[in-house]
Amino acid sequence: MNERNLAGLAATVLQPGFVGTAPPDWVRRWLADGLGAVVLFARNVVDPEQVAALTATLRAERPDVLVAIDEEAGDVTRIESGLGSSRPGNLALGAVDDPALTEEVARDLGDELAALGVTLNYAPDADVNINPANPVIGVRSFGADPHLVARHTAAWVRGLQSAGVAACAKHFPGHGDTRVDSHHDLPRIEASRGRLDSGELVPFRAAVAAGVQAVMTGHLLVPALDPDLPATLSRRILGDLLRDELGFSGVVVTDAVEMRAVADRYGFAGAAVRALVAGADAICVGGERADEAAARYLRDAVVAAVLSGELPEERLAEAAKRVGQLAEWSTAARLGRPADAPRPVDGSPVGLTAARRAVRVSGDPAGRLPLPGAAHVVEFAPPHNIAIGAETPWGLGAPLAELLPGTTTVRLTEADLAAEPADLAATTGDPAGGAAGRPLVLVVRDLHRHGWMRAAVDRALASRPDAVVVELGVPELVTGRLHLATHGATRAATRAAAELLAGTR
C-alpha cells in the first residue's frame, strides 16, 4: 500500500479535538482526506443551535464522520458546561438503584445528543469506585458494589443506544481502585486476577452483554493482567482479555494519548502507535493538544510505524475497518430517527426528578428542615479536577438564594484558610455583615479526602453545632447533626438539595 493510502487509514483511526465553535479549515480538509472522527469539548459548545450547526458542517464534508463527546451527564459535562448538568451523575443514579430510571435518564441524554448531531459518547463510566480516596473517579462511578455498577452500566448503555448514540464504557479494565489520577501519572492496580474477575471486570462484562458499541481503555498498570505494559498498550489486556475472553467485537478507543500516564513514558506518538499494535482501533487526542500539528504528528508516526514494520499494515486496516463499522451503525441509527430540533437550554425534567430521588438525609431533620429563612452558605472548594473541567460551575449558594432570598455565600479554598486561619467569623459568617444568627449551611465535596476541609468543618461545627452539612461528592464521611448527600455537584443535584432546605418540595 502506498503512503497516501496509509495516511488515509491512519487518519481514519484518529479522533482529534479542535479549538473553536466551528470546524477549522484543517479539520474540514482532513475529513475530505479520510479523518474518521472528531471529539467535541466544552470549548466547542455555546448553545444547542451552535452545536447542531457545527456537526452539520462536519457532515457536509463527510456524512459518516463520527462526532464524539465526553458527556457523562453528571459532574463531567460538556454540553451543559456553562450551567452545570441538569441530570444527576452515576453515583446519584446508583444511590437510587432503579435501573429503569438510569435507562430513562440515559435515553433522555441520548435524545439530546442525537438532536445535536453527536453520534459517539465516551460514557458510561463503568469503573467500580473501590477506593474512596480515588481522586478522579468518585461520583463518576455508580458505586463501590460491582454488581450494582454492572446493572446500571448495562441500563445506561441500553438507554443511550436506544436513542441512536453509541455508548463507550470506560476505563477498561477498571480505574476505581487507585489514588493516582492518570492525567498526571500511571496508576498501578494491585489486585489479584480473582479480585478483578469479581470486581472491576463485572461491569464491563455487563456492558458487552448489553451490546455496547465501544470501550475506552484506561492508562493503568495492572500487574495481574500484564506486569509490564499499561492497559492501553497491552495486547494481553486488549486482545486476550477484552476481545477473546469478554467477547467484545466493537471499537476500542484509547483514553487521551497526551495524558502523562502514557505520554511521559512512551512519548505522545509512541503511545499512539503502541496502542494500535496492542489492539486499539481509535486514538483519542485533543484535550490538551488540539491543533493540526498534533494530528499530523500522530498520523505520520502511524504511517512510519507501518513502513518500518513496527505496526502491521493488517492491524491498521483492521482498526480502520472497525471505525468504519461503527460509522455505519451510527448512520443507520440516525436514519431511523426523526429530525428533532435541538432542545433549549432549560434542562432535563427527568434529570431533576432523578436528582431529587438521590438526595439522602442523615441525622435528625425534625425542627431543622426546612430552614426558617435566608441562610449563610460556606462552600469549601477542593482542588480542580481535570476530568470535570474548571469551566463547569457548581455550588449550593446560588440555587438556595433563588428559593430563600437574602441567602449569602462565601467560597473558601485551602489556600484561603491557610492565609487567614478559619475562625468563627471566617467560616460561619461575618457578624458585621448580618450573617450571625442565620441558619448555617456547610457545603463540601469529598470531605473524607481533604484534611484541611475536615478541620475547617470541625471548627465550624464546634461553634455552630446547628449547622447543616451538605456533601456534593462521595458521602464517605457523614458529620454534623443534619447531613444531606446529593451524590454529585450537578445543577440538578444542588437544586434538589436547595428545595429540601427551603421546604419547596
Closest residue by Cα to residue 394 from 453, 354, 445:
445
All structural domains of the chain, each given as residue ranges with its CATH number in brackets, are: 3-336 (3.20.20.300), 359-502 (3.40.50.1700)
Mean pLDDT by 10 residues, the chain (505 residues): 86 97 97 95 96 97 97 95 96 98 98 96 98 93 98 98 97 93 87 97 98 97 97 98 98 95 93 98 90 96 97 97 97 75 73 98 88 97 83 94 97 91 53 69 97 97 96 97 97 98 92
List the grid coordinates of 321: 475497518
Q: Are 385 and 135 in contact (CB under 8 A)?
A: yes
Q: Which residues of 425-462 are buried (b: 16+ CB within 10 A; e: fewer)?
A: ebbbbeeeeebeebbbbbbbbbbbbbebbbebbebbbe
Q: Are 114 and 120 in contact (CB under 8 A)?
A: no
pLDDT for position 432: 40
Q: Annotated catalytic sites, by residue? A: 183, 255
Q: Are 51 and 113 in contact (CB under 8 A)?
A: no
Closest residue by Cα to residue 34 from 295, 306, 334, 311:
295
Alpha carbons 372 and 392: distance in angstroms, whole number: 31
SS3 label, residue 188 = strand
Q: Phi-psi bin for 485: left (phi > 0), alpha (psi -120 to 50), beta?
A: beta
pLDDT for position 336: 65
